[in-house]
Each structure stands twice: as structure tokens, then as C-alpha cells.
């Protein structure tokens, strides 16, 4: 399903994209339900995060006027992922994750926020807050000390960074297909974390 979505984005088939992209998340909810997770609370939080992501996907299919709604839905998803990781975070890997994420943000964030600032204070504050939450998701994922979680958090951060850059700054390498690839692989890794 993810491959179908990526192809539909690359070949500019919006009707197929609007079907395939949310279906990936629906399938992942089914996978998460089928996993024999050692932490049922974390599994419930991951499923809820996928549900919020599904809402975000559907809202973002609408005209640009609903960007704020999509941002809010994905914010909720990231907060749920952070909560799912909370009992599994260890200090040492989390510090490594924080150093890497802060280093990346120092490079990307000033230019991104400068571009967003031109569109108003409210959007700047919303995007800035969202960046903090997404960065915290990545640090928490790395903090678990598990490669699959770290990869998932990193890919979701990359997807959001590419999306934000493309929306506010200018074209990104790989464009929309790369945003979708990193997003889906990140979500897949978040679900696979439950099985580790």
C-alpha cells in the first residue's frame, strides 16, 4: 500500500494518492493490533497516534485552509508517541539523540522559521511549537536505545522537515515523494518497535 502511494505521488495521481496514503495507516493499525506487545499501554498509545495521523492525513487532503487542522492532528500523534516511549527512555541514548537533533535543528530551523514568520505570528508560534514536539519524539525514540524506534523517530522528523521546507522555504530534494517515503517508513518503524 505504501509503495502504491509513493508511485501515485511520483506520477501525480491525486485520486489514488488520497486512497493509498490513509490506507497505509489503516493497515498499520491492524498490524499494531496483531502484534503481541509486551507493553499494552504503549501499544494503545501507538494505535492512538496512528489514529491521529490518519485524521491528519485526511485533513491535509482538503484545501490549504485546513493546514492548521492537519498540524494539530499530527501534534497529537507526536504527543502520543512521546507518551508511549516515556517508560522506555534511558538517559544515555536520549542525550545522544538530543545532541544530534539539536545539531540538525541549528542548521535547518532558522531558515524555516524565517520563511514561516513572513506568513504571520500565529503560524510561526504553531510551527515552532510543533518543531519542539517532533524533535522530542525523535529524542524519545532514540532514548529507548532500540534502533527501530530511533529510525522511526528520525524518519518522522525528516518527513516533517522536508514537508515544512517544501511548503515554506522552497523545493526539497526528492520533493513530495520523499516526504511520503520517510513518513510511511517512520510510521512502520514506530509500529515495529512494539514487537521488539
Q: What are 90-98's contacts with CB under 8 Å, separation 24+?
A: 90/143, 90/144, 90/145, 91/143, 92/145, 93/142, 93/143, 93/144, 93/145, 93/150, 94/139, 94/140, 94/142, 94/143, 96/142, 97/138, 97/139, 97/140, 97/141, 97/142, 97/143, 97/150, 97/153, 98/139
pLDDT of residue 111: 92
pLDDT of residue 98: 94
The total number of structural domains that make up the chain: 1
Q: What are 92-96's contacts with CB under 8 Å, separation 24+?
A: 92/145, 93/142, 93/143, 93/144, 93/145, 93/150, 94/139, 94/140, 94/142, 94/143, 96/142
Structural domain for 18, as ranges: 2-193
pLDDT of residue 65: 58
Tens-level pLDDT at each residue, the chain (196 residues): 999 999 999 999 999 999 999 999 999 999 999 998 888 999 999 999 999 999 999 998 887 658 888 999 999 999 999 999 999 999 999 999 999 999 988 998 899 999 999 989 988 999 999 999 999 999 999 999 999 999 999 999 999 999 999 989 999 888 899 999 999 999 999 999 999 8
pLDDT of residue 64: 65
Amino acid at each position: 500500500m505504501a509503495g502504491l502511494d509513493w508511485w501515485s505521488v511520483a506520477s501525480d495521481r491525486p485520486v489514488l494518492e488520497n486512497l493509498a496514503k490513509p490506507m497505509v495507516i489503516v493497515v498499520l493499525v491492524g498490524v499494531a493490533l496483531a502484534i503481541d506487545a509486551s507493553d499494552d499501554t504503549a501499544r494503545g498509545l501507538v494505535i492512538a497516534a496512528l489514529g491521529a495521523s490518519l485524521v491528519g492525513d485526511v485533513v491535509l487532503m482538503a484545501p490549504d485552509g485546513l493546514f492548521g487542522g492537519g498540524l494539530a492532528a499530527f501534534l497529537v500523534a507526536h504527543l502520543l508517541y512521546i507518551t508511549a516511549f516515556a517508560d522506555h527512555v534511558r538517559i544515555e541514548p536520549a542525550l545522544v539523540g538530543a545532541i544530534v537533533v539539536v545539531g540538525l535543528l541549528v542548521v535547518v530551523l532558522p531558515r524555516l522559521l524565517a520563511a514561516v514568520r513572513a506568513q504571520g505570528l500565529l503560524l510561526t508560534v504553531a510551527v515552532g511549537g510543533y518543531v519542539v514536539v517532533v524533535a522530542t519524539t525523535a529524542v524519545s525514540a532514540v532514548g529507548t536505545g532500540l534502533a527501530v524506534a530511533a529510525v522511526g523517530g528520525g524518519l518522522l522528523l525528516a518527513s516533517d522537515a522536508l514537508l515544512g521546507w517544501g511548503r515554506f522555504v522552497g523545493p526539497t530534494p526528492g520533493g513530495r515523494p520523499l516526504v511520503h517515503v520517510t513518513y510511511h517508513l517512520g510510521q512502520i518503524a514506530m509500529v515495529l518497535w512494539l514487537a521488539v
